[in-house]
Chains A and B, each alone.
Chain A
Amino acid sequence: MNSAVLSLLPAAVAGVGALLVLLVDLVMPRSQLWQRPLGVVILLAATATVPVAWTIGWFAHTDRSGLPEILASIGVPSPARVLQVVALLGAAAALILLGHEHREAPGGLSVAVALVLVSAAGAASAAASVDVISLVVSLEVATLPAVALVALRGRRGAVHASLSLLMTSLVSFAVTVLGAALYLAANSSVVLSAELVGAGLDARTTRPALLLGTVLLVVGMAFKLSLVPFHAWTPQAYREGDLGVVALLVTTSKAAGVGGILAVLRPFIDPPAPFVLAERGLVLALAVLAVASMLIGAVGALRQTRPLGLLAWSTIGQAGWVLLPLTALTDAGRAAAVGYSLAYALATLVLLAVLRRGRALPGQHLSDGPEPAFSGFLGYVRRDRIGGAALVFALLVLAGLPPGVYGLLVKVGVLAALTAEGLWVLAVIAVVGVVLGIAAYARWLAAALGRVPERGAEAAAAGRTAYGALLVLGAGCLLLIVLSVWPALVAPFLH
């Protein structure tokens, strides 16, 4: 069996799981208790297949008989596996954090859970794609459920947001398909192979089409990653989607996007022979996207007064950071990008879990009313030790400051990848991004570390313990701490 085929195993598990949920729902349509546990179990099972598929694929690596020759030459690199894990576990976290109002939504919890599973399946498949067509398809499978999930909340704003999301998704789909078409036209093959791309670039006639195709594909991915200027849907979607949907967006859908971009850029990152001429244009295009996202996202985040607004805009900025090392078009850059995505996803999940705990002043739960502003977090560290410590730690990981060492290390990794390729201009611009980012996160941080206000403290302390949130929070923090102390744990899987 080929590794490329095996790597679809996790996606298959998740997809089948979605069907399973819908089937069970047919059997017992009233109950709202089993969907989430089942979904989580399915996702964990899918995650477990990742190393299995990997190991088998690794042993079977030499056996390529029975496959088209061109397909056989492509192995799915291990970063894709890491992204699969992020997508699947992120989806599990999203299930846990999913708000209660989905019970009342049309179709009930079962539909929501199935949508999450489908999205995870799409993302897992996108990361493992080796050809343009499957990539395009799996990306849409990964993102469209999010549109539905936002819409399912049923509020007016949510409908607006989902409409916006849908619009941009469709446009992005169009762009991606256009790119795929150009790619196919230039290469006469849908396979994302270094040899084919090399040959295509060598021929004068096919080069423009191939290059434009690649760029358009990247643009298509940029939607999923909410890179500027394809980010407009992000703030609305984050504001209107509930915490679970946001978790899905920051993990599964991001992993799909990153996996897609890696797949498109793979021929350039692991080329059989360097093609300098083509790289220049591509690097510039990537750099423009990355820098614009990093800076605009950060300044946007600077003006936010509410956590989800901050997370939305910081997502845009962080997406720039994920793309930035890829401008180096090296293996180190890819490793940095995946490492960064990992840190980002974990830290954001922890923050979402903290929000789900709902201990902010003045005692409102997120589902009940508007989310609290930063001022609601005044003295949070004193009032909620676990949540407070997690909040501070996760924010520091995002800001890239110790004790969030892993957040800092991945930033160093990004800059190291750039400087190694002589892209010091980008590195210097990134300094601005770092500082703007710190400034943005510092406001929430300052509130949390600040003095406890006189009134309202006891009201907030009465919040109900959300064990699911605690689980996500604990697992996320634990992983981040382990990675901070022992970054070598994941390092081998990033290459």
Chain B
Amino acid sequence: MVLSAALALPAMVGALLVVFGSALGARPSRWVAGAAAVGSAGLLWAGLVRGEVVDVLWVPDLGLRFALRADGYSVPFVLLTSLVLILVVAHTAYEVPSGGSAGGYLGCVLLVGSGALTAFLAGDMVLFFLAFEVVLIPMWVLIGRWGDPHDLAARRDAASRFLLYTAVGSTLMLVGILLLAHRRGSTGFAVDAVQGTGPRAVLIVLLLVLGLAIKLPVFPLHTWLPAAHTIAPTGGSVLLAAVLLKLGSYGLIRLPVLSAPEAFAVIAPWLGLAGGVGVVWGGLVCLAESDLKRLIAYSSVAHMGFVALAVSTGSQLGIQAAIYSSIAHGLIASLLFILVGGLKHRWGSASLTVAREPLREVSPRLGAILVLGLTASMGLPGLAGFWGELLTLVAAWSPAPGRPRSVFVASAIIAAVGAALAAAYVVRVLRLVWLGDAVAGQRGRPIVRVDIRGVEWAVTAVLVAGIVWLGVYPYVLLDLTVVAPAGPAVAP
């Protein structure tokens, strides 16, 4: 009951805000949305602490149950989503993107959050898919309506690209889920894994992996991501990075890896290789990209490459690494997108080709947080990104039995090279933005000497605290994921 309420609260409030938000005004909508987000988080916490499980038959024809439950794998994602939701709502106090009322914007944000939370808590595969789809339309509206106001065509392109690309992925996943459910005789997650590597089992896994790889995204299925990230408003980018991509990693773990491990092993080497290549690819593009927001988006592609590699190893360590990487990326990318959004707000664009006064001189605090975010992104120890990357490499070096070790070691080496590229693009950005390697010729508009403060400062401070905490104190997350059942979840 508590869990259902925790999901219904943001959904209801979100829907109401979408419909009546414009009448409400910015400040009241923010308070309402904030109350919903915080209330939902509180209810979730209560539900998780009580270990609540919901299980109601919903669609008898499909055997679909409205089943909610949490285990060690889902809890990190649930908490991340709750936190990010609150932060995104709070961030509107700093900036409400242009394009519509604040209420509508916050409503869409809450709907995205509610859908994602449902997906992470779902105990039924089809329910997972449904929740996966719930996120689509609000996010599409966020991008298409509240996206970058400068370029209508780009906004339209990014929004529809996001919608259609993701729909391809999720529907492929649905076909996989249905085949899997038919094979297992139930749509629940908590059923024995499919054994064997027959062609049908491989087909199931292929569909699932393809679908989720689009969501993650894995190279070369990633081209929706940079467009969406670049155009989306700050909050939308944050939700994309911290929540939507995580649906991909969570789904990969929950569906192919745990539900059909043997068949997954057949295509895992390809996924691992794609992950490794993605790390390098993302890093390379980041070295040449001239838009800061787009650059951060491509760095997400690189990070998700690590997740794909970790998942593909199929070992418990790999799963833990994938979860760690995902959560870390959620925090880091959120921070970076908020910072870059703030910079775009101040600069009027996020282009790196415009010479500007170095942040280190102009806004030292903003500069310092940017440095922290970027170094976390390149996997510096003491910050969240490190553990995920390290554990991924370890997992890839010793994949689960039955997988070709050479392929995984090769992928690990590729990924490690990609991590070095991360340092290169981080240094590039820092030199351009923070240290002020001004490009000769163009001059940006006179800098607004506004350092980070107020709500923006508070939001980033929370994220910084999370990044540092995960960096220096990795136990909580590692313990949480280590006690999770190796097989299916706990519910009936």
Q: Looking at the complex, which one of A385, A413, A438, A449 makes contact with B141 (CB distance below 8 Å)?
A: A449
B134 touches A403 (CB 8 A): yes
How many angstroms between the C-alpha atoms of A416 and B174 in the bound complex?
Answer: 9
Given contacts A382-B22, A424-B203, A491-B61, contact A434 B141 (CB under 8 A): no
B431 CB to nearest chain A CB (Å): 39
Return the CB mask of A414-444 against B: 1 if under 8 Å, else 0. 0110011000100110110011001100100
A416 touches B163 (CB 8 A): no
How many angstroms between the C-alpha atoms of A11 and B150 in the bound complex?
Answer: 59
Q: Looking at the complex, which one of B62, B100, B137, B172 makes contact with A413 (CB distance below 8 Å)?
A: B62
B175 touches A451 (CB 8 A): no
Q: Is B115 an interface residue when CB atoms closer than 8 A count as contact? A: yes
| Chain A interface, number of residues (Cβ within 8 angstroms) | 38
Q: Which residues of B contact A382 (CB under 8 A)?
A: 22
A66 CB to nearest chain B CB (Å): 37
Q: Is B257 an interface residue when CB atoms closer than 8 A count as contact? A: no
Q: Is B60 an interface residue when CB atoms closer than 8 A count as contact? A: yes
B160 touches A494 (CB 8 A): no
Chain A: interface secondary structure?
A: helix
Q: Is B207 an interface residue when CB atoms closer than 8 A count as contact? A: yes
A413 touches B160 (CB 8 A): no
Return the CB mask of B40-67 against A: 1 if under 8 Å, else 0. 0000000000000000011111101000
Q: Is A488 an interface residue when CB atoms closer than 8 A count as contact? A: yes
| Interface pick from A25-33, A218-226, A404-412 | A404-412
Q: In this complex, what residue of B is CB-closest to A409?
A: B59
B175 touches A428 (CB 8 A): yes
Given contacts A419-B179, A446-B144, A451-B145, contact A488 B58 (CB under 8 A): yes
Return the CB mask of A60-74 against B: 1 if under 8 Å, else 0. 000000000000000
B172 touches A428 (CB 8 A): yes
A424 touches B62 (CB 8 A): no
Q: Is A487 an interface residue when CB atoms closer than 8 A count as contact? A: yes
Q: Which residues of A contact B57 (CB under 8 A)?
A: 488
Return the CB mask of B155-167 against A: 1 if under 8 Å, else 0. 0100110011001
Q: Is B317 an interface residue when CB atoms closer than 8 A count as contact? A: no
Chain B: interface secondary structure?
A: helix
Q: Is B19 an interface residue when CB atoms closer than 8 A count as contact? A: yes
Q: Which residues of A contact B136 (CB under 8 A)?
A: 401-402
A413 touches B145 (CB 8 A): no
Return the CB mask of B120-146 against A: 1 if under 8 Å, else 0. 000000100110011011001100110
Q: Which residues of A contact B174 (CB under 8 A)?
A: 412, 415
Q: Looking at the complex, which one of B164, B179, B182 makes contact with A435 (CB distance below 8 Å)?
A: B164
A31 CB to nearest chain B CB (Å): 41
How many angstroms between the C-alpha atoms of A419 and B177 in the bound complex?
Answer: 10
Residue in A332, A420, A434 whose Cβ sees the most chain B Cβ within 10 Å: A434
B60 touches A491 (CB 8 A): yes
Q: Looking at the complex, which one of A332, A336, A405, A427 makes contact with B130 (CB distance below 8 Å)?
A: A405
A452 CB to nearest chain B CB (Å): 9
B13 CB to nearest chain A CB (Å): 14
Q: Is A335 an interface residue when CB atoms closer than 8 A count as contact? A: yes
How many angstroms between the C-alpha atoms of A435 and B161 in the bound complex?
Answer: 11
B58 touches A401 (CB 8 A): no
Q: Knowing that A402-B136, A405-B130, A488-B59 touch, tell me 19 more A-B residue pairs with CB under 8 angstroms.
A: A335-B61, A339-B61, A389-B19, A401-B167, A402-B115, A402-B133, A412-B64, A412-B126, A416-B181, A419-B178, A420-B178, A424-B179, A431-B175, A435-B167, A438-B164, A439-B160, A439-B164, A446-B144, A494-B61
Q: Closest 9 interchain pairs by CB? A: A419-B178, A402-B134, A431-B171, A427-B175, A434-B171, A487-B59, A419-B179, A416-B178, A491-B61
- What residues make up the interface of B, taking CB atoms closer than 8 Å to A? 15, 19, 22, 57-62, 64, 99-100, 115, 126, 129-130, 133-134, 136-137, 140-141, 144-145, 156, 159-160, 163-164, 167-168, 171-172, 174-175, 178-179, 181-182, 203, 207
Pull 19 A–B residue pairs with CB atoms less than 8 Å apart, ordered by A. Answer: A339-B61, A402-B130, A402-B133, A403-B137, A412-B62, A413-B61, A415-B178, A416-B62, A416-B181, A428-B175, A431-B172, A434-B167, A435-B164, A435-B168, A435-B171, A446-B160, A449-B144, A451-B99, A494-B61
